[in-house]
Amino acid sequence: MFIEYTFTMNDGKDLRYKVEFERTRQPILNKNLYPSWTQLDFHQCPNCPLKIEEHSHCPVAIDAHEIVLEFAEVLSCNEADIQVKTPEREYFKHTDAQTGLRALIGFVMATSKCPILRPLRGMAYYHLPFASLNEIVFRVTSSYLLHQYYKYQKGSRIDLEFEGLKQHFKDLQTLNYHFSDRVRAACDADANLNVLATLFTISSMLSLSLEKHLKEIEHLFD
């Protein structure tokens, strides 16, 4: 299963990315083959459970580094025709490069081998590019409750107050903040940094005011 993104920039330049959902990499990689900012101990997230003795590189950085470098000279305000192909359907939107890059990077991050991002794999499998904030709230809370159902079936304690989800978004805030330091070392243009800033903002909003956003869609269930 794979997702394919095509960016057709206003200047006619095409950027194309085909990302497999399952990607196999060895935990120890040749450091000479990848940029130094992808190494695990380069601005490693303080909540990262990986150990440098067992993993040479950050899983997210390894998966995203080619996209980050290619977008290094693309400003977030540049417009593009963005086409997204999934196994089930295609999406198209004419918008700024940042919006498309956010969707692409979000998929790459959620399908990486990063243990902090692993809870997002279910949502990534049913990828929805260009999602609004309410769509994100609907999908992430639905996914979390489905996870609780599977835990209940196995006799584990479940969480219907979303406390675990709120903590997960706090962990994502930390990850996005420190991963942006990696990207800052890789490029000077603003598109990549703006994408991570947006992801940071979404994580912050959902960790602090999840109930407020849930209230906004409550009418759908009246």
pLDDT over 60 (residue 164)? yes
pLDDT (average), residues 192-198: 62
pLDDT category at 204 given cuts 50, 70, 90 is low
How far apart CA 49 and CA 147 sit, in angstroms, is 22
* Structure tokens, 77: 């305000």
| Percent of the chain whose predicted confidence (pLDDT) is above 70 | 91
Residue 193 has pLDDT above 70, yes or no: no
The pLDDT tens digits of the residues spanning 57-77 come to 999 999 988 888 777 667 667
CA 60 to chain centre: 9
* DSSP symbols for 53-105: TT-SB-HHHHHHHHHHHHTTT--TT-EEEEEEE-SS-EEEEEEEHHHHHHHHH
Rounded to whole angstroms, the Cα distance separating 87 from 79 reads 26
Mean pLDDT computed over 43-62: 94
Length of the chain, please? Answer: 222
The percentage of residues in the chain with a pLDDT greater than 90, rounded to a whole number, is 57
pLDDT at 97 over 80: yes
Q: What is the mean pLDDT of the chain?
A: 88
The 10s digit of each residue's pLDDT in 104-163 is: 988 999 999 999 999 999 999 999 999 988 999 999 999 999 999 999 999 999 999 999
Q: 43 — alpha (psi -120 to 50), left (phi > 0) or beta?
A: left
Q: Are 38 and 137 in contact (CB under 8 A)?
A: no
The DSSP call for residue 118 is G
Confidence of residue 195 (pLDDT cuts 50, 70, 90): low
- Which residues are bridge partners to 3 per DSSP? 19
What are 6's strand-pairing partners? 16, 83
